[in-house]
Amino acid sequence: MAYDAAVSPVAARPSTTLLVRKLGQDAKRIAALKAAVAPFSIGFHESGPDVDLVGDKPAIVFVEHLAERFATQSGQHGTIPDAEAFQSMIDEALDDVLRHELSLRLEGVLQPIRPYSMAQLAFLYDLIDRRCPLVFGVGPTGTGKTYLTVATVIN
């Protein structure tokens, strides 16, 4: 299922363009970036000096946030950190964006719903989407299945 997909390419901010240019053809880091946004998708299309982002809105929000963090931490040199530091940067940015930009306010629920992973966010979107007549939530104990389901039922 496509989640809130961008209909047309979104022009990337300068910080995002910098990140994409620095990643270049580094397949491992691009794979780490795409794994971080799964089950959502993201794509980069370079058109001359500009970069366009294509994908699901939550993934675009995350990449923009990561790029801002990258620009702040790397300074003017803009060097890509080693694989471990880059993964740490991804993890911190993902935690931050899920906690703030991608949290949802549902009617009838006092506190915003803050998913802990992109998979939880996708599950939440599926529960909210009234076009899905049946949604299965499968996973280990404590992964938020009941909490997210009850929160959306109250809505």
- For 6-43, the pLDDT digits (tens) are 545 677 778 888 888 788 778 888 899 999 999 998 88
What integer pLDDT is reported at residue 45 of this predicted model? 81
Q: How far is CA 81 from CA 19, 43, 44, 85, 90, in A?
A: 11, 21, 20, 6, 11
Sorted by where each begins, the domain ranges of the chain are: 10-99, 118-154
Q: Which of 1-5, 45-49, 80-84, 101-105 has the lowest mean pLDDT?
A: 1-5
Helix 118-128 to helix 57-74 angle (10° resolution) is 150
Mean pLDDT of 126-131: 85
Question: What does 40-78 look like in DSSP terms, one character per residue?
Answer: S-EEEEEETTEEEEEEBHHHHHHHHHHHHHHHHHHTTT-
The third-level CATH classification (topology) of the domain covering 10-99 is Ribosomal Protein S8; Chain: A, domain 1 (3.30.1370)
Number of residues that make up the chain: 155
This prediction has a pTM of: 0.82
Band the pLDDT of 51: cuts 50, 70, 90.
confident
Mean pLDDT of 45-54: 79
Mean pLDDT of 68-90: 80
Token pair 């940015």: residue: 93
Query: Per the structure block, which two tokens stand in for 93?
Result: 């940015």
